C-alpha cells in the first residue's frame, strides 16, 4: 500500500495528556491529528485532582471557567492517625494564582478538553489504532487501523505517544520502561458517604488495618482507595459495595455508610520511567513515559505539564520557526521532574502503609515527626502543587548577569516559574502579570526607570524596537514603567504597562534596565541585569530560526 503524506503532528492516545497536547499545539497554530483506539471516553473518576500549576495551564487554554464550574475546590490535605488529626496543610497559605486543588472526575476533564479541542478545529479520530511505525529521516511512517479493519499507511513529521502505561508507541520503538512493582493490591471506589467525609480536604486515615485515602468529588461524592492485600495473590474477582464498606469500616474512625457506587475496581501500582522521552522524531508523554502511585495526585498533572512543555516547542519547530535542537530540552526538563515525582509518590505511599506495622512507640514518634516547621510545610505543599518546578539546568534557561550585583541577587532565576504581580495598568485597565502573559508568544519584560534619556533607557528602547522588528510575531515586548512615564518617552517601542504600586518590580528585585524573557509555558527563559541586544540575540538563536 502506498503511503500518504500528512504534514500533521500525529498524537496517539486521547486521554488527558494527548488532549492537552493537541489543544496546546492547536493554540500555537500547529496542525494536529489525534487518534484513539477507544470508541468513547471511559466514564470513570480515576485521576481526579488538578493542582494549582495545572489550573494555570487550563487558564491559558481558555478552560479555567468551565473547569471551576464543573469541579469542587479542595483547600487542604489532612492526615489522621488513631482517629486524631496529626497534620494539616492548606492551599490558601501558598502564594498562587489558584490557591486550591480542584477535584473533578477524569471523564469530565477529558470531555472538557475534547470540547475545547473541537473549538480549536480538531476532532478525535476514535476506534483508530496505531499498529506499526518506521522511522525515516524526515518523519515517521505509521500504519493506522480503523474499526472496520481497514489500514492506512501515513507519513507524518512527528509522532507523539500519549497512549498510557502500556504504550504501543513505546513498544514499537523498543524503548525500555524500567522500574519496579508495588507489592500491594488496591481498591478504588467512586461513592457517596453518610455522613460526608471531609468535603473540602483530601484526607488520609492511618490505622492498624492499613491506609485509607478519601478525596471529595462534585455532587457530594467521594473517591476512596486503599490497600487491600498482596499483589501476588490470585485474582480477587470484581469488588462489591460490601467490600468497600468493609474497607471503610476498618480504617475510618467513625461509623459511615457507603452507597450509590458509580465505580469500584481493584488496581496495582508500578514505579517506572522510560529511559528516553525522545526517539528520533517520536516523543513520549504522560503515563507512556512515567507511572507511579496515585498518592498525592501527581500523575495526571505531570502528564498535562509534559504536554504543555512539549507543545510550544514542537509547534515552533513544525512551523519552521525554531531549530530542531530546541526539542532536546523537552527530555532534559521533564524527565528530571518525573524522577522527582516517582521518588515523592513512593515516599508518601510507603510512609502511609508502614504505619500499620508500627509499634506503639514508633507511632508516638510518627506523631512527633508529623509536625514540621512552617517554612518546610509550605515548601512541601508548593511541591505537591507543582509550583516549585525548576528548569535551571536546561540549555534554554540562561542567566546573563554580572558576577556581583544585578538580578542574580533576587527575583525568579532562569528556569523558575514567573512570579505573578499586580496591579499593572494597560490602556486604562488593571491586570495581573499572569493575565498579560497569556497567549502563544514569548514575553520580554523590560524594567524602565524614571529618566528615559539615561543610557540604560536608550539601550532598552533600542532593544525593544529591534526585537519587535525582527521577532514581532514571536516575542511580545512589555516595558514596565514607573507611574508618570508614558509610552511616547520610549519611542512607542513595545507595549508600556505601568507598575502602579511597584509590586512587579519588587517581586522581581528589578532595577532600571533589568530584562526577563518569559516562555509561553510561564517559565523564565533568560534574564539579564542590562539590556544587551547582542547577548539577547545570541540567546534567541537557540529558540528561533534566524530571521
Question: Tens of pLDDT along 327-355?
Answer: 999 999 999 999 999 999 998 888 888 88
Q: Which three cell numbers stand for residue 223?
A: 473517591
Q: What is the pLDDT of residue 404?
A: 42
Residue 347 three-state SS: helix
- For the chain, list the domains and their CATH numbers: 4-48+105-177+274-352 (3.50.50.60), 180-270 (3.30.9.10), 398-543 (3.40.30.120)
Q: What is the pLDDT of residue 356?
A: 80
CA distance 248 to 270: 24
| Contact of 418 with 412, CB cutoff 8 Å | yes
> What is the per-residue DSSP string for 349-391?
HHHHHHGGG--HHHHHHHHHHH---HHHHHHHHHHHTT-----
Question: Tens of pLDDT along 285-308?
Answer: 999 999 999 888 899 999 999 999
Residues of 21-49 as b/e, b for ≥16 C-beta within 10 angstroms?
bbbbbbbbebbbbbbbbeeebeeebbbbb
Here the contacts of 320-329 (C-beta below 8 Å, separation 24 or greater) are 320/545, 321/474, 321/544, 321/545, 322/543, 322/544, 322/545, 323/542, 323/544, 323/545, 325/542, 326/396, 326/542, 326/543, 327/278, 327/283, 328/278, 328/395, 329/391, 329/394, 329/395, 329/396
| Contact of 432 with 414, CB cutoff 8 Å | no
CA distance 102 to 52: 8
Q: What is the pLDDT of residue 1?
A: 62
Q: What is the pLDDT of residue 452?
A: 74
Residues of 517-540 as b/e, b for ≥16 C-beta within 10 angstroms?
bbbbbbbbbbbbbbbbeeebbebb
Half-sphere exposure of 99 (CA within 13 A, CB side): 10
Q: Which three cell numbers stand for residue 193?
A: 458517604
Q: Which three cell numbers stand for residue 334?
A: 521533564
Question: Tens of pLDDT along 516-541?
Answer: 999 999 999 999 999 999 999 999 99
* Model pTM score: 0.95
Q: What is the pLDDT of residue 308?
A: 98
Q: Which residues pair with 216 in a beta bridge?
A: 222
Please list the ranges in the chain whose pLDDT falls under 70: 1, 231-234, 366-374, 402-409, 487, 490-491, 546-547
CA distance 184 to 225: 12
Place of cell 519584560: 445
Amino acid at each position: 500500500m502506498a503511503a500518504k503524506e500528512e504534514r500533521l503532528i500525529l498524537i496517539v492516545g486521547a486521554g488527558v495528556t494527548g488532549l492537552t497536547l493537541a489543544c496546546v499545539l492547536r493554540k500555537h497554530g500547529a496542525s494536529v491529528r489525534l487518534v484513539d483506539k477507544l470508541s468513547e471516553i471511559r466514564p470513570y473518576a480515576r485521576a481526579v485532582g488538578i493542582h494549582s500549576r495545572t489550573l494555570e495551564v487550563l487558564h491559558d487554554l481558555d478552560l479555567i471557567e468551565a473547569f471551576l464550574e464543573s469541579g469542587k475546590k479542595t483547600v487542604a490535605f489532612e492526615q489522621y492517625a488513631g482517629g486524631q488529626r496529626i497534620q494539616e496543610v492548606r492551599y490558601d497559605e501558598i502564594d498562587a494564582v489558584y490557591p486550591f486543588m480542584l477535584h473533578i472526575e477524569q471523564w469530565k476533564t477529558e470531555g472538557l478538553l475534547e470540547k475545547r479541542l473541537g473549538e480549536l478545529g480538531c476532532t478525535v479520530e476514535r476506534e483508530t489504532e496505531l499498529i506499526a511505525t518506521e522511522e525515516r529521516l524526515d518523519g515517521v511512517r505509521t500504519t493506522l487501523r480503523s474499526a472496520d479493519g481497514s489500514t492506512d499507511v501515513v507519513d507524518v513529521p512527528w509522532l507523539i505517544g500519549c497512549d498510557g502505561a502500556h504504550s504501543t508507541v513505546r513498544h514499537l520503538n523498543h524503548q525500555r520502561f524500567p522500574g519496579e512493582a508495588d507489592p500491594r493490591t488496591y481498591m478504588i471506589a467512586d461513592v457517596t458517604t453518610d455522613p460526608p467525609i471531609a468535603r473540602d480536604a483530601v484526607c488520609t486515615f492511618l490505622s492498624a488495618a492499613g491506609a485509607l485515602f478519601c478525596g471529595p468529588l462534585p455532587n457530594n461524592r467521594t473517591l476512596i482507595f486503599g490497600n487491600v492485600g498482596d499483589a501476588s495473590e490470585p485474582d480477587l474477582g470484581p469488588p462489591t459495595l460490601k467490600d468497600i464498606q468493609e474497607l471503610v469500616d476498618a480504617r475510618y474512625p467513625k461509623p459511615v455508610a457507603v452507597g450509590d457506587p458509580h465505580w469500584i475496581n481493584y488496581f496495582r501500582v508500578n514505579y517506572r520511567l522510560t529511559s528516553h522521552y525522545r526517539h528520533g522524531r517520536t516523543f513520549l508523554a504522560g503515563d507512556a513515559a512515567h507511572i507511579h502511585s496515585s498518592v498525592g495526585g501527581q500523575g495526571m498533572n505531570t502528564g498535562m505539564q509534559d504536554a504543555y512543555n512539549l507543545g510550544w516547542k514542537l509547534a515552533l519547530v513544525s512551523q519552521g520557526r525554531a531549530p530542531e535542537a530546541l526539542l532536546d530540552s523537552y527530555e532534559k526538563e521533564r524527565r528530571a521532574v518525573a524522577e522527582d515525582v516517582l521518588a515523592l509518590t513512593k515516599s508518601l505511599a510507603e510512609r502511609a502503609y508502614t504505619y500499620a506495622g508500627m509499634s506503639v512507640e514508633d507511632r508516638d514518634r510518627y506523631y512527633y515527626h508529623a509536625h514540621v516547621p512552617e517554612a518546610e510545610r509550605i515548601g512541601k505543599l508548593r511541591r505537591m502543587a507543582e509550583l516549585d518546578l525548576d528548569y535551571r539546568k536546561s540549555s534554554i534557561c540562561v542567566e546573563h548577569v554580572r558576577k556581583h550585583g544585578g538580578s542574580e541577587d533576587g527575583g525568579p532565576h532562569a528556569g523558575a516559574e514567573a512570579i505573578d504581580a499586580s496591579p499593572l495598568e494597560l490602556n486604562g485597565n488593571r491586570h495581573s502579570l499572569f493575565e498579560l502573559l497569556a497567549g502563544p508568544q514569548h514575553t520580554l519584560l523590560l524594567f524602565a526607570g524614571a529618566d528615559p534619556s539615561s543610557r540604560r533607557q536608550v539601550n532598552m528602547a533600542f532593544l525593544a524596537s529591534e526585537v519587535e522588528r525582527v521577532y514581532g510575531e514571536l516575542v511580545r515586548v512589555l516595558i514596565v514603567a514607573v507611574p508618570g512615564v508614558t509610552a511616547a518617552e520610549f519611542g512607542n517601542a513595545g507595549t508600556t504597562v505601568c507598575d502602579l504600586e511597584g509590586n512587579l518590580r519588587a517581586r522581581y528585585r528589578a532595577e532600571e534596565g533589568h530584562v526577563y524573557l518569559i516562555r509561553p509555558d510561564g517559565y523564565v527563559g533568560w534574564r539579564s541585569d542590562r539590556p544587551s541586544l547582542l547577548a539577547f540575540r545570541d540567546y534567541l538563536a537557540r529558540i528561533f530560526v534566524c530571521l
